[in-house]
Chain A
Amino acid sequence: MIVKEDEKKDLAFRELRASLQALLERKNLPLQERALILAAIEKVETLLGEE
């Protein structure tokens, strides 16, 4: 089965979001980086059409 490039990208963005959410669990992450991750998650969700 041929998977379209858009579908691959969609899957890659979902994996990226999961990784960002996992990174947010780290309690020793500085405040600014934590804020950036939250912004990045929102961005990815917008790209995925989930917001």
Chain B
Amino acid sequence: MNRPQDLARLIHERSVNESQQDLQARLDAAGKGDTTLNELPVVDVPETFRSQMLRLLENGKSLSLQEIRSITADIDSLGEELHCQERAEKILQGIHQHKNGLIEVVLPVEMTFLEAMEILNGAARERGMPHDLFSLEDRRFWEANESDQRLRLVPGERHFFSLEHDASLERRSDQLKQFGSSVPLAALALAETAERLRSEGTSSFFEPIPGGNTWVRGRTPGALLSVSHRGTVFVLPGVDDESRERTVYAREVLDIEDHLEDGNSSSRVSVA
């Protein structure tokens, strides 16, 4: 097994010439049947990983204790990085804008709202974006908001909303009468943050035209969302809803069938 030609054959067989179907079969046989290949976009793995694997295959037993531990630490670090990217991608798959402008949001079942926002901030850093996409300075506000059964974003629960930019001069009570209920504030924050990550800061649901200094109302009374000049989504709590104007209302859309062009939601990616 240690002869160079054997190693070359091993790597050749296990990578270059192996079809995805065959590899999936071997993963299944190895007890990794729940690992579905290419369910998520693959990422670039550092070249050092490949050289470390080759070092392990070629040198094996002659590796020192320190070298083995060093390889293990690097693999753990790579695994953590990939896991973060994997979870960020799963969040992004739960956000979708339909052709008619309707925005669909679902938070993956295995994470809380604040965990999701931390993951998105981490993914932004890994992509080299200079600032956080979501402000966690108001963590206490969000913790209180997400512990309120009437206001919270429930993981796995699907929401659809439209942003009523044309009615931005009206007060909350008037908007409520005109459009009905709104979606959880966290659903709005999640959608906007995800859109900014996906577009690397070039696209926004809140501000289709950049520089509009838009404020957005969701289900939580007395709280507004906006985006700072650095591109960070933040909440402004303690607002008098009846005196503030120029605020966009996020209208909750419940009769989905009437609004979606394809007439059903089963064809979309589900992350719940």
Interface size on B, residues (CB 8 A): 45
Alpha-carbon separation in the docked complex, A33 to B26 (Å)? 14
B72 CB within 8 Å of chain A: yes
A-B contact count (CB 8 A): 106
User: Is A31 part of the binding interface, using a Cβ–Cβ cutoff of 8 Å?
Assistant: yes
* A36 in contact with B72 (CB, 8 Å): no
Which single member of B26, B54, B76 contacts A19 (CB below 8 Å)? B76
Chain B positions 208 through 220: 1 when the CB is less than 8 Å from some CB of chain A, otherwise 0? 0000000000000
A24 and B31 alpha carbons, distance in the complex (Å):
11
Chain A contact residues: over half helix, strand or loop, or mixed? helix
Q: B65 on the interface (CB 8 Å rule)? A: yes
Give A contacts to B, CB under 8 Å. Answer: 5, 8-9, 12-13, 15-16, 19-20, 22-40, 43-44, 46-47
Q: Is the CB of A28 within 8 A of B53?
A: no
Given the interface pairs A30-B42, A31-B15, A35-B14, the reply to whether A23 lies near B56 with Cβ below 8 Å is no
In angstroms, Cα B154 to Cα A27, docked, is: 25
- Known A-B contacts A33-B49, A36-B15; the reply to A16 vs B71 at CB < 8 A is yes
B interface list, Cβ under 8 A from A: 1, 10-11, 14-16, 18, 20, 23, 26-27, 30, 32, 35-37, 39-45, 49-50, 53-54, 56-57, 60-61, 65, 68-69, 71-72, 75-76, 78-79, 82-83, 85-86, 89
Q: How far is the CA of A34 from the CA of B53 in the complex (A)?
A: 11
User: Which of chain A's residues have a CB closer than 8 A to the CB of B41?
Assistant: 28
Q: A12 CA to B72 CA in the complex, in Å?
A: 8
22 contacts between A and B (CB under 8 A): A5-B65, A9-B68, A12-B65, A15-B72, A16-B68, A16-B71, A19-B72, A19-B75, A23-B82, A25-B32, A26-B86, A27-B40, A28-B43, A28-B82, A32-B15, A35-B11, A36-B15, A37-B53, A38-B30, A43-B1, A43-B56, A43-B57
Is the Cβ of A32 less than 8 Å from the Cβ of B16? yes
Q: A23-B82, A25-B35, A29-B82 are in contact. Are A39 and B14 (CB under 8 A)?
A: yes
